[in-house]
C-alpha cells in the first residue's frame, strides 16, 4: 500500500458516501474532536496569558457541547471547512493586548495542526495491523478523516478574514489606531465569509492549501508506516 499522505487521505475523502448515516457520523465525530480541542486551546492559552474569561464561562472543558456551533459543525460535515462557537476573550486583561490576542488566536489552528500530525502518524502506524479487516479499515478511515478535517480547520481558520483567527494575527501587525478601528467592524466579516463559502469562490484555494498542508506531513505518515511494519 502506498504511504504518500495526500494520496491516502484523498482516497478516504473521495470514498465517503456523504448520504449515508454511518458515513455522516464518521465525519461528525472527528469534527467534534477537532472543534473541541481548537476552542479549548484558545481558552487555555488566554488563561495562561492572564485572561480568565473563558474559564469563568466554563469553556476550559473537553465537553464538545460547550464549544458547538451548529452551523459551523454542519459546514465541517458537509464542506470539510467550518468553525466552533468562539471562546470569549477579554484582550484588555492581557499585559500586551494585541500580542496576547494574536497568540491566543494562533493557539486554535496550532492545535489542529498538532492533531493532524498525531492522527496521521497513527494512521501510518496502524495500517499494517488494521488494513486487512473491514473493521480495521473503518478505524483507519476515522483516523484519516480526523487528520484531514483537523488540517482543513487549521487552514480555514488562519484565513485573514474576520472573525477567523488569521484576521486577529494580521490585525495585530497594524498600528494601534487602525487595529482598534478594524476590530469594531469584525462582526461584519462573517457576512463576507459566508458569501465566499456559499459562492464557492474560495473552494479551490482551500482545497489546494489542504493538499499542500497534508503533503508537508508526508514524512509523519511514512515514519508511522515504517514503524508499524516493524511492530506488527
pLDDT one-digit tens code per residue, 80-122: 666 778 899 999 999 999 999 999 999 999 999 999 999 999 9
φ, ψ for residue 17, nearest 5 deg:
-95, 95
Say what the pLDDT of residue 43 is: 96
Helix (H, G, I), strand (E, B) or coil at 82: coil
Return the minimum-mean-pLDDT range out of 42-51, 59-68, 173-182: 173-182
Neighbour-count burial for 185-196, b at 16+ CB within 10 Å, e otherwise: eeeebeeebeee
pLDDT one-digit tens code per residue, 7-28: 665 665 555 554 455 666 777 8
- pTM score of the predicted model: 0.84
Position with higher pLDDT, 60 vs 162: 60
Per-residue confidence at 68, pLDDT binned at 50, 70, 90? Answer: confident
CB distance 197 to 98 below 8 Å: no
Is 39 known to be catalytic? yes
Q: Which residues, at least 6 apart from 51, have a Cβ–Cβ distance to it below 8 Å?
A: 89, 90, 91, 93, 94, 100, 104
* Annotated active-site residue in 39, 141, 211, 226: 39
Q: What mean pLDDT comes out for the span 28-32?
A: 87
- How is residue 163 written as a grid cell? 472573525
Amino acid at each position: 500500500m502506498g504511504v504518500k499522505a495526500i494520496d491516502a487521505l484523498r482516497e478516504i475523502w473521495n470514498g465517503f458516501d456523504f448520504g449515508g448515516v454511518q458515513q455522516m457520523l464518521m465525519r461528525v465525530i472527528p469534527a467534534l474532536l477537532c472543534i473541541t480541542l481548537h476552542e479549548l486551546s484558545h481558552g487555555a492559552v488566554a488563561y495562561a496569558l492572564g485572561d480568565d474569561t473563558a474559564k469563568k464561562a466554563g469553556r476550559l472543558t473537553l465537553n464538545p457541547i460547550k464549544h458547538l456551533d451548529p452551523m459551523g459543525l454542519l459546514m465541517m460535515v458537509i464542506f470539510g471547512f467550518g468553525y466552533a462557537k468562539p471562546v470569549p476573550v477579554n484582550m484588555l486583561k492581557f499585559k500586551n493586548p494585541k500580542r496576547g490576542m494574536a497568540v491566543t488566536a494562533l493557539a486554535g489552528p496550532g492545535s489542529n495542526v498538532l492533531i493532524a500530525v498525531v492522527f496521521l502518524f497513527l494512521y501510518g502506524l496502524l495500517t499494517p495491523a488494521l488494513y486487512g479487516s473491514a473493521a480495521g479499515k473503518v478505524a483507519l478511515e476515522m483516523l484519516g478523516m480526523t487528520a484531514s478535517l483537523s488540517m482543513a480547520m487549521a487552514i480555514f481558520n488562519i484565513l485573514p478574514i474576520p472573525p477567523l483567527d488569521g484576521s486577529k494575527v494580521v490585525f495585530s501587525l497594524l498600528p494601534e489606531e487602525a487595529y482598534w478601528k478594524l476590530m469594531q467592524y469584525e462582526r461584519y466579516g462573517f457576512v463576507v465569509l459566508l458569501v465566499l463559502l456559499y459562492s464557492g469562490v474560495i473552494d479551490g484555494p482551500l482545497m489546494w492549501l489542504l493538499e499542500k498542508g497534508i503533503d508537508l506531513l508526508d514524512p509523519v505518515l511514512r515514519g508511522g508506516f515504517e514503524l508499524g511494519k516493524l511492530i506488527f
